[in-house]
Amino acid sequence: MAELQGLVVIDRKKDLRIKNTDEFLVEACMGNLKEVLKKNFGDNEEFHKFFDEANVARRLLAHRFFLDHAMDFASEAGLLKVNEHLSELYIAIRGANEVSIALRDEVFKRVGLTPEIVDQKLEELRKAIS
């Protein structure tokens, strides 16, 4: 929506390396998305730190976490270690989520969307697909 309003400029082939406007957005690399954010919202290191930490946490959970902690599941002390590590990852991911919500709210404000309008459109979409 922000892209359609001209508030955010995304060159999908260059910035996200996807074939066209409708394909492969989910598979686009976080690093490329970060570059788009830098172009549109500035190069604030603190802002991007949240996304970097969350991306590292997500990759660890998706690719290695359970392998790295396989032996820890066999003991109570190991489970405490797993829980502590999961808590750290949760905090990183949750921090990026909070930044994302603030960013989304700013984009919505710029294009004239309110939470009520968004809720209404989501409800219409749910009804249409069910």
- Calculate the average pLDDT of the chain: 79
Q: How far is CA 96 from the centre of its chain?
A: 7
Alpha helices by DSSP H, 64-75: 65-68
Q: In which band, very low, low, confident or very high, does the pLDDT at 82 lie, cut at 50, 70 and 90?
A: very high
What's the pTM value of the predicted model, to 2 decimals?
0.62
The residue ranges of every structural domain in the chain are: 12-115
- With beta carbons less than 8 A apart as the criterion, state whether 92 and 65 touch: no
Give percent helix, percent strand, percent coil of the chain, each to the nearest 5.
Answer: 75, 0, 25
**pLDDT tens string 91-119:** 999 988 888 888 888 888 888 888 888 88
CA distance 63 to 55: 12
